[in-house]
């Protein structure tokens, strides 16, 4: 049976991040992708031109429709926009018997806010405690914990600060540091450093969404967290390497890079 994976995230009209990135990643990794839309953004390679949240009942109803009938083997969360939505989604995840990958999306690559400042406390106290893996980037680590990471060595302290809120694993993404693209995965006892060459490509829209969805897909296929994160890192690294120009600004990573390998682009 093809395992089902559910993304709870915002729509990116430009197709590079959010729900669209998640579903493409799931297809590429061989699972059945399903979605709960939390917000709709008008977004392209230049930035976010508008964002509209869905009512909390609409989010709950989508989630129940999927989970009650179809069932899910893993859940991934992305843009949750408001405290009310963060809390509702945390409650739904707590009732679901499946691992949850929480990408605590704060701002877009262009600096547009995708989460209200008033929702940060709910992320800390409601959402992170129900996460199997939390995947903050360095800006999100700073927002959530106050820890500012400027070098690889400081990522351990960031991971400990995130783990203090209760996720089983923290994956600290070092994509915004110079040098190799290094991430740290830890549950407080095991430590796994994931290192990939930095691809000098400005077309990185969707990296975080893609990585988190890839982890959820691999967990749904039965891998352990360290195995799933290693496989997801390999997939996102290839997607960044193949990222392409689209529009006048930051283009998307290529979710289909493995399909295109060896064929004409």
Ligand X SMILES: Nc1ncnc2c1ncn2[C@@H]1O[C@H](COP(=O)(O)OP(=O)(O)O)[C@@H](O)[C@H]1O
Ligand Y SMILES: Cc1ncc(COP(=O)(O)O)c(N)n1
Q: Is 183 in the site for ligand Y (CB under 6 A)?
A: no
CA angle 256, 208, 177 (to 5 degrees): 115
Distance in Å, CB of 145 to ligand Y, minimum = 18
The single residue of 204, 210, 237, 238 carrying the catalytic annotation is 204
Find the binder of ligand X among 38, 137, 143, 218 (CB under 6 A).
Answer: 137
Q: Is 10 in the site for ligand Y (CB under 6 A)?
A: yes
Return the number of the residue (207 or 237) whose C-beta is nearest ligand Y: 207
Q: 109 vs 126, which CB is nearer to ligand Y?
A: 109
Sketch the per residue contact string, 172 through 191, with ligand X: x for CB under 6 A, - otherwise. Answer: -xxxx----x-x--------
User: Of these, 138, 141, 194, 209, which contacts ligand Y (CB under 6 A)?
Assistant: 209
Closest to ligand Y by CB, 34 or 209: 209
Rg for the chain (alpha carbons), in Å? 17
**204 noted as active-site residue:** yes
Strands 100-102 and 74-77: parallel
Residue 110 or residue 199: which is nearer to ligand X going by CB? 199
Among 3, 15, 18, 99, binds ligand Y (CB under 6 A): 18
Q: Cα angle vertex 101, ends 195, 209, to 5°?
A: 65
Q: Which CB, 4 or 10, lies closer to ligand Y?
A: 10
Taking the complex as a whole, the smallest distance from the CB of residue 183 to ligand X amounts, in Å, to 5
Per CB under 6 A, does 47 bind ligand X?
no
C-alpha span between 243 and 77 (Å, rounded): 23
Closest listed residue to residue 138, CA positions, set 104, 110, 165, 168? 104
Q: Which stretch binds ligand Y (CB under 6 A): 9-17, 94-102, 140-148, 150-158?
A: 9-17
**Is 11 in contact with 39 (CB distance < 8 Å)?**
yes
Question: What is the residue whose two structure tokens read 């600060």?
Answer: 161
Between helix 225-241 and helix 207-220 the angle, nearest 10°, is 140
Distance of CA 91 to the CA centre of its chain: 19
CB of 158 to ligand Y, least distance (A): 17
DSSP letter (8 states) at residue 30: T
User: Per CB under 6 A, does 208 bind ligand X?
Assistant: yes
User: How far is Cα 142 from Cα 101, in angstroms, rounded to an integer?
Assistant: 19
CB 98 within 8 A of CB 76: no
Which of 16, 174, 209, 238 is catalytic? The answer is: 209
Half-sphere exposure of 164 toward its Cβ, with a 13 Å CA cutoff?
A: 11
> Using the rule CB under 6 A, is 233 a contact of ligand Y?
no
**H helices then E strands: how many in the chain?**
9, 9
- The binding site for ligand Y (CB under 6 A) comprises 9-10, 12, 17-18, 41, 43, 78-79, 105, 108-109, 114, 205-209
Residues that bind ligand X (CB under 6 A): 137, 173-176, 181, 183, 196, 198-199, 201, 204, 207-208, 211, 233, 236-237, 240
């Amino acid at each position: 049976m093809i395992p089902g994976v559910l993304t709870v995230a915002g729509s990116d009209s430009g197709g590079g991040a959010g729900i669209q990135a998640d579903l493409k990643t799931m297809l590429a990794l061989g699972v059945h992708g399903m979605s709960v839309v939390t917000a709709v953004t008008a977004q392209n390679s230049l930035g976010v031109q508008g964002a509209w949240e869905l009512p909390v009942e609409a989010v709950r109803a989508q989630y129940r429709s999927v989970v009650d009938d179809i069932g899910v083997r893993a859940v991934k969360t992305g843009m949750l926009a408001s405290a009310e939505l963060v809390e509702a989604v945390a409650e739904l995840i707590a009732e679901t018997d499946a691992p949850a990958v929480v990408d605590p999306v704060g701002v877009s690559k262009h600096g547009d806010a995708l989460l209200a400042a008033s929702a940060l406390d709910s992320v800390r106290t409601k959402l992170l405690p129900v996460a199997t893996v939390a995947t903050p980037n360095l800006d999100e680590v700073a927002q959530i914990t106050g820890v500012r990471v400027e070098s690889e060595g400081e990522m351990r302290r960031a991971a400990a600060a995130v783990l203090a809120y209760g996720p089983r694993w923290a994956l600290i993404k070092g994509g915004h540091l110079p040098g190799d693209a290094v991430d740290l995965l830890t549950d407080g006892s095991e430590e796994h450093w994931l290192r990939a060459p930095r691809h000098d490509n400005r077309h990185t829209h969707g990296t975080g969404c893609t990585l988190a969805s890839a982890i959820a897909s691999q967990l749904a296929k039965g891998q352990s967290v360290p195995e799933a994160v290693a496989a997801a890192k390999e997939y996102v690294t290839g997607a960044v390497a193949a990222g392409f120009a689209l529009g006048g600004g930051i283009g998307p990573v290529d979710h289909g890079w493995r399909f295109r390998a060896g064929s004409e682009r």
